[in-house]
Amino acid sequence: MSALEFRAGIREALDAELTRDERVVLFGEDVAVAGGVFAVTTGLHERHGSERVIDTPISELAMSGAAYGAALCGLRPVLEIMFGDFLPLAMDSILNQATKFHFLDGEGGVPMVVRCVVGAGGRFGAIHSQTPIPWLHGVTGIKLVAPSTPADAKGLLRAAIQDENPVLFFEHKRLYSVKGPPGDDEPLPLGQAAVVREGDDLTIASAMKGVHDALEAAERLSSQGVEAEVIDLRTIRPLDFATVLGSVAKTNRLAVVEEGPLTGGWAGEVLARAAEEALGELDDVWRITTADGPVPYSPPLEDAFLPGPDRIVAEIQGRA
Amino acid sequence: MGEFDATSCTEMYRVMVRIRRFEERIQALFLRDEVYGTTHLCNGQEAVPVGVASALREGDQVAGTYRGHGHALAQGIGVQELMDELLGRATGINGGRSGSMNVTARRHGYLGSYGIVGGSIAAATGAAMALQRNGGVAVAYFGDGATNQAYFFECLNFAHVLALPVIFVCENNVYMEYTRTEHVSGGDILSRAQSLGVPGEAVDGMDVWSVRDAAEAAVERARAGYGPMLLEASTYRFVGHSRSDPARYRPEGELEEWQQRDPLLRVRERLEGDGVQRDALDAIDAEESALVLAAEERGLEAPWPDPAELPSEFAAAAVEPVGAEALQR
């Protein structure tokens, strides 16, 4: 079987769900006729028509509000916010309405998915490079999905569209051209982490691009006799901490790699759980993140800012 | 309106040529991987910021868009410091931290290039609250697509209610990103503004003198305390939306039709008709080309920024924008 590209995995998941369930609609800026600015949704408009795959105005507030209202009345909207940095414009209906409805109403949820492109490393500067997971991490009632491989992206997006709750689905822009095994054709349950590399000496937990960086770091460390176990969290909320716990019981050391500021990031939550549930197992536990600042534009600044494989290797060696 | 004045028009021509040459070199540098990430170029739209800037004075403030190199250069930001910024160098106007989409330069009356569609509208509205105290005005540049953002409706109403001295300059270049704006918009932009109590005027955005005339009238009105106004400048980008856009969505012949109205050619024709020697205009072309090429050459030799010198998380010193001292009085 030929390799699957990350963007094609997303496209295939959308295609499969649009085909499977006529309640599914996809909308966003330039997603239909143009096929998406990252060429993710190419061909879906032709296949599914203008009533299912819809170009919107540049109106994020209207887009998220409409997705919420449509979800209440039987559609299963998938909304694309082109860059995650534009999420604040769409936030009210997500944060104040969609995530509260199930609690208030008591019957049924709000089945909507917000896809957005996130992440740094593309030289897009401070306002097109953020990873906005922490902005939503403290909001209950929304699932936060952060895939790292093409097959996971496909399976997790299918599960997200079938989920009865609001889901934010993060697509790292530097993963779109990554290729990998196609996987099977089934939805992949949300909230399950995966051990993607086994090792006895320490555990590295991460998500999205960070998983690839962790794997590269692990290979380099292996040549120096350090075997790292790498966990791909895949979903940040709900968090599959059991998988982390199982690994830490074996390795006794945990590093969490997050592309985002140190303060207030989701890595802090992983550390908190580790402290609460595995203190006796731990010899060392820490976060590898960016500094508390915005993403800079210039290549030497951005490269030094991001927690890539070099930083991961150096920190692990430094704390050995 | 204002009498045609060949001297000031020649100066506007100079800045328009500067912007065009700058954009052409940025495109070339981008393709050579010397400018990074993405770029949104304004070839074809030069008359709008140059005409508007000619109606402003020191202390006025402007908020531009991510298609903002022209906005920045028209405000008087130096070619070298903008070039260096896009090349990611320490000598850039923001030390290489900002890049193409996020340039700021308050000392030049430039509140920033706004990467969020519609963000400039809000920034200028707020700026006008401050500038109202000293007779200054604020300008928001934004595209046709931004008129579908909540920012547009909320800020125009807000500015009307507070009678703020802000000029909303919509650069209507027909397309919002890859989509024809009329396909995703109801009504029209001038009526939207008028319905919120903000008078609007249609302007030929390919003719710098028309833009200047309209801007002078709007600025005078705002300075006199009569509140905001919207100018809808009809224009066209001769290039795609951004680096990766081949602009296949244009109907055949549309680009060529607009190129007949190239604002640089239009202003040249007018100046030559008014007796300005062709040689003098050719000399301006040569000088501006040389200026941009020299900046490029120097910029490529400029030092890279040092990650250890990124600003600390919180600001300590107050940096006052140009004209701010007048606010204290």
ipTM of the complex: 0.87
Give yes or no for a contact between B229 and B260, defined as CB atoms under 8 angstroms apart. no
Q: Is A276 exposed, middle or buried (0-12, 13-18, 19+ CB in 10 A)?
A: exposed
Phi-psi domain of A81 (left: phi exceeds 0; alpha: psi -120 through 50; beta: other)? beta
- Residues A204, A173, single domain; the answer is no
Q: Provide the domain count of chain B.
A: 1
Calculate how close chain B gets to A10, using CA atoms only, in Å.
20
What is the arithmetic mean of pLDDT over A208-216? 98
Q: Which residues lie below 8 Å from residue B309, measured CB to CB, with a gap of 6+?
A: B90, B95
- Residue B89 tokens read as 């160098």
Domain range enclosing B187: 6-302
* Nearest-angstrom CA–CA distance, B191 and B176: 19
**3-state DSSP assignment of residue B52:** helix
pLDDT for the residue B317:
77
pLDDT, tens digit (0-9, with 9 covering 90-100), for A166-192: 999 999 999 999 999 999 999 999 999
- Residues A226, A276, single domain; the answer is yes
Do the domain assignments include residue A89?
Answer: yes
Closest CA to A157 of A8, A269, A2: A8
Give yes or no for a contact between A289 and A236, defined as CB atoms under 8 angstroms apart. no
pLDDT, tens digit (0-9, with 9 covering 90-100), for B194-204: 999 999 999 99
- Residues A32, A98, single domain; the answer is yes
* CATH code at position B137: 3.40.50.970
Q: Which residues in A lie closer than 8 A to residue B100 (C-beta atoms)?
A: 125
Q: How many CA atoms lie within 13 A of A216 on its CB side?
A: 13
pLDDT for the residue A81:
96
Calculate how close chain B gets to A26, using CA atoms only, in Å.
16
Q: Taking chain B (329 residues) in consecutive chunks of 10 residues, what is each chunk's mean pLDDT?
A: 83 98 97 95 98 96 97 98 98 97 94 95 95 94 97 96 97 94 94 97 97 98 97 96 87 96 96 95 98 98 96 81 56
- Residues A157, A290, single domain; the answer is no
Do the domain assignments include residue B319?
Answer: no
Domain range enclosing A225: 194-318
Do the domain assignments include residue A123?
Answer: yes
**Among candidate residues A114, A148, A180, the one where a domain is terminated:** A180
Pick from A301, A303, A306 the residue to mutate for testing the B interface (most B CBs within 10 Å).
A301
Catalytic residue (one of A128, A137, A172, A212): A128
Do the domain assignments include residue A189?
Answer: no
Pick from A30, A59, A301: CB nearest B148: A59
Do the domain assignments include residue A258?
Answer: yes
**3-state DSSP assignment of residue B247:** coil
Which amino acid is located at A176 in the chain? Y
Do the domain assignments include residue A36?
Answer: yes
* CATH code at position A251: 3.40.50.920
- Residues A267, A299, single domain; the answer is yes
More confidently predicted of A139 and B4: A139
- Residues A167, A212, single domain; the answer is no
Cross-strand pairs, A48: none
**Among candidate residues A180, A215, A230, the one where a domain is terminated:** A180
Q: Name residue, tokens 């609690």.
A: A103
- Residues A19, A113, single domain; the answer is yes
Pick from B102, B146, B313: CB nearest A126: B102
Calculate how close chain A gets to B168, using CA atoms only, in Å.
18
Do the domain assignments include residue A267?
Answer: yes
Q: Which residues in B lie closer than 8 A to residue A62 (C-beta atoms)?
A: 150
Do the domain assignments include residue B252?
Answer: yes
- Residues A155, A227, single domain; the answer is no
Is B310's CB within 8 Å of A61's CB? Answer: no
pLDDT, tens digit (0-9, with 9 covering 90-100), for A284-315: 999 999 999 999 999 999 999 999 999 999 99
Do the domain assignments include residue B296?
Answer: yes
**3-state DSSP assignment of residue A229:** strand
Segments of chain B assigned E as strands: 61-65, 110-114, 138-143, 166-172, 175-176, 179-180, 200-204, 229-234
Do the domain assignments include residue A185?
Answer: no
**Among candidate residues A180, A215, A235, the one where a domain is terminated:** A180
Q: How many CA atoms lie within 13 A of A316 on its CB side?
A: 29
Pick from A40, A59, A290 the residue to mutate for testing the B interface (most B CBs within 10 Å).
A59
- Residues A303, A222, single domain; the answer is yes
End-to-end CA distance of chain A: 41
Give the torsion sign (CA, A37, A38, A43, A45).
negative
- Residues A28, A162, single domain; the answer is yes
Q: Is A128 a catalytic residue?
A: yes
Is B249's CB within 8 Å of A296's CB? Answer: no
Q: Provide the domain count of chain A.
A: 2
pLDDT, tens digit (0-9, with 9 covering 90-100), for B262-281: 999 999 999 999 999 999 99
pLDDT for the residue B329:
40
* CATH code at position A143: 3.40.50.970
CA distances to A126, A167, A262, B245 from A85, rounded to whole Å, are 9, 17, 18, 21
Phi-psi domain of A108 (left: phi exceeds 0; alpha: psi -120 through 50; beta: other)? left
Calculate how close chain B gets to A19, using CA atoms only, in Å.
26
- Residues A259, A237, single domain; the answer is yes
- Residues A157, A298, single domain; the answer is no
Calculate how close chain A gets to B302, using CA atoms only, in Å.
13
Size of interface A-B (CB pairs under 8 A): 122
Torsion, CA A93, CA A173, CA A12, CA A46, rounded to 10: 80
Closest CA to A81 of A72, A73, A90: A90
CA distances to A57, B64, B122, B250 from B150, rounded to whole Å, are 11, 18, 10, 27
Pick from A27, A53, A56, A58 the residue to mutate for testing the B interface (most B CBs within 10 Å).
A58
Do the domain assignments include residue B13?
Answer: yes
pLDDT, tens digit (0-9, with 9 covering 90-100), for B54-73: 999 999 999 999 999 999 99
Interface residues on B facing A, Cβ-Cβ cutoff 8 A: 36-38, 88-89, 92, 95-102, 115-118, 145-146, 148-150, 176-179, 183-185, 242, 244-245, 249, 304-307, 310-311, 313
Q: Is A277 exposed, middle or buried (0-12, 13-18, 19+ CB in 10 A)?
A: middle
pTM for this structure? 0.92
Interface residues on A facing B, Cβ-Cβ cutoff 8 A: 29-30, 33-34, 37, 55-62, 85-86, 89, 122-128, 291-294, 296-301, 304-305
Do the domain assignments include residue A188?
Answer: no
